[in-house]
Amino acid sequence: MRIRFVAAALGAALAVLAVSSPASAGTADCIYKALPKAKRDQVDALYDRSRREGAQAVIYTADEAMSAAAACIKDPTEEKVMDAMVALAGHEFQMQAVRWFVRQPGVTPERVESAWKAVDPQLLRDSRATMRTSSDADAQARLAPAREPFLKALGIPVNSDSLAYATLYLYGRVALEVYDTP
């Protein structure tokens, strides 16, 4: 989950991962919807096979990503494009985690949203405030104390898979909130 690494690579090639997210109605969602559906489905299939494989895949061509970004970013600058690509990666991480969560007994998208709202607000403020300046490892570590309470609110047992998806969701959600634009 190296969003900054992904963002740097995207700045050069604008090749990204993407999937829709109910929490985003901004640029990331617009870019996602402008990308080829068959390739979005391919990303889903990769995540279904392996969380790591899905998170590390680069499916879209630079032309596809640039075309989608051009359709969605007003007055594009390098900074706006980079922010949009990081938001798009966060969008991907969040949505793929939701897809995994809702496969667990009793979990619905609404329950995921409720669990998010139960995360310590100060922890989220601190995470948002440092997202642009900290390393990915620091950002993930800052969110680590929220993982178990988040999973308990979902009613999901704490294990290595659920902790990984909690990290994916929390990190993606914060990145989306920090980098996405309406």
pLDDT in tens, 74-133: 888 888 888 888 888 899 899 999 999 999 999 999 999 999 999 999 999 989 888 888
Q: Count CB atoms within 10 A of the CB of residue 156.
A: 22
Rounded Cα distance between 113 and 42, Å, is 26
CA 37, distance to chain mean position in Å, is: 18
**Region for 15 from its dihedrals, namely left if φ exceeds 0, alpha if ψ lies in -120 to 50, beta otherwise:** beta
Tokens 């919807």 belong to 33
Instruction: Please state, for a pLDDT cut of 70, what percent of the chain lies above it.
Output: 86
